[in-house]
Structure 1
Amino acid sequence: MARSLHERALRCLALREHSRLELARKLDGLGSQDEVNAELDRLVELGLLSDARFADAYIRAKAGRFGASRLRGELVRRGVAQDLIASALDGNDADSEFDRAREIHHRKFATPPADAREWARQARFLQGRGFSTEIIRRVLREHPGDEPA
């Protein structure tokens, strides 16, 4: 049982980085809880499993589509510690966040908002992608006179 547990863990890690919690979920049922935890500890000791490395890889992969708030929420859901999330998001400064939001907005919407209703729709889209209210206002303010009354 331990061999198949180890092999399954290595196959998962060969495909992509995983957080400890994600990998534990994938290994659930292949052994007892103690065996799974022992295997995860072994992988951490060998440097094959790292929540910090997972957080960095996840942010690099998803930052082009999502804002810091959404990235933070997804990492929390995947069991990454707050300090590791903060460290991984450190390189994500406000200017790059603004640039990403602007790029995502321009890809989705060909024209600036024509009225308050459209402005609200575009703002909701960016909010759903995890961008802050301040960033959303800055992106939509690029078109003077488009703010809702």
Structure 2
Amino acid sequence: MELARKLAPHAESPEALEQLLDALERENWLSNARFVDSLVHRRAARYGAARVMQEARTHQLGGDQLADLQDRLRGSELERGRAVWQKRFGTPPATPEEKAKQIRFMVARGFSRSVVSQVIKGADEWLDGGD
């Protein structure tokens, strides 16, 4: 567990650290589910599923939690992609260079190519209120 690794240098003994972590889990002060919720809350509004998943993997979460997280993120990725694109650009690309710039930005933020394509191609429609 990541917290155990970070607290290990400050603990009196490994046993005391384990007791502390167990007590925190029993009191629901320490929970992987709460951590995942916090991660989604902090990152999902600005990043795509790939980027958030990459960060989640660095925190050594369990496979079931990662699968649930991925499902949650994929379900809202188009909506979140539109919001990020709207905040950053707001207008459909007028030139191929501008389009390439918008695509690079969105892909670097972790949005899938299919979502980026849908966002940019559909920008005219949903900006006019057609969606």
- TM, length-normalised to structure 2: 0.79
What residue in structure 2 maps to residue 56 of structure 1? 37
Matches within 5 A, 1:98-113: 98-113=78-93
Give ranges in structure 2 of 5+ residues lacking alignment: 125-131
Unpaired segments ≥5 residues, structure 1: 1-19, 145-149
Q: Describe the shift of the 1:112–1:42 C-alpha distance in structure 2 as closer, same or farther (beyond 3 A).
A: same
Superposed CA RMSD in Å reads: 2.1
Does structure 2 conserve the Cα–Cα contact (< 8 Å) formed by 1:127 and 1:136?
yes
- Mapping 1:1-149, distance limit 5 Å: 20-21=1-2, 23-31=3-11, 32-94=13-75, 96-143=76-123
Of structures 1 and 2, the one scoring higher in RCO (CA 8 A, sep 6+) is 2
CA distance in 2, matches of 1:27, 1:138: 45
Q: Distance in 2 between matches of 1:48 and 1:25?
A: 17
Q: Distance in 2 between matches of 1:119 and 1:82?
A: 36
Q: Residue 68 of structure 1: CA displacement?
A: 1.1
CA distance in 1, matches of 2:8, 2:93: 48
SS in 1 for 2:9: coil
* TM-score (norm: length of structure 1): 0.71
CA distance in 1, matches of 2:14, 2:57: 22
State the Cα distance separating 1:40 from its structure 2 match.
1.9
State the identity %. Answer: 35
